[in-house]
Amino acid sequence: MKLNPLHTPELIARHIQYTGEYWPNERCTGRTTAQALRLLAEAISNPHTRITIVDHHPTVMAATNLRRLMQDMVHILQLEHMQFTATSVTFTTK
């Protein structure tokens, strides 16, 4: 199995040591962060259009975590006019 370049032997060894399980190949690859940035960019590029928040893991919990990550990014970047619902984000110019 080919590992993601972000999965260093040290990272995997620590995970095995603490959990007793092998590190899942899909963890800590940056996919959720990339998805959050993509959705925010889509909202900004399409003002007044509701963009549905769907994570690469199609579960309600994953979408909720993605929305929270996006809200944190908006706060940290001090972006204005971003409106969130439980399942969408919209960029408004007012």
| Residue 39 structural domain | 30-91
Q: How many domains does the chain have?
A: 1
pTM of this prediction? 0.71
Tokens linked to 66: 């993605």
Residue 43 lies in a domain: yes
The amino acid occupying position 19 is T
Residue 75 lies in a domain: yes
The pLDDT of residue 48 is 96
The pLDDT tens digits of the residues spanning 17-50 come to 877 877 665 566 678 889 999 999 999 999 999 9
User: What is the C-alpha separation between 27 and 17, in angstroms, rounded?
Assistant: 17
Residue 50 lies in a domain: yes
Coil, strand or helix: which one is 41? helix
At residue 54's C-alpha, the angle toward residues 2 and 58, to 5°, is: 60
Residue 38 lies in a domain: yes
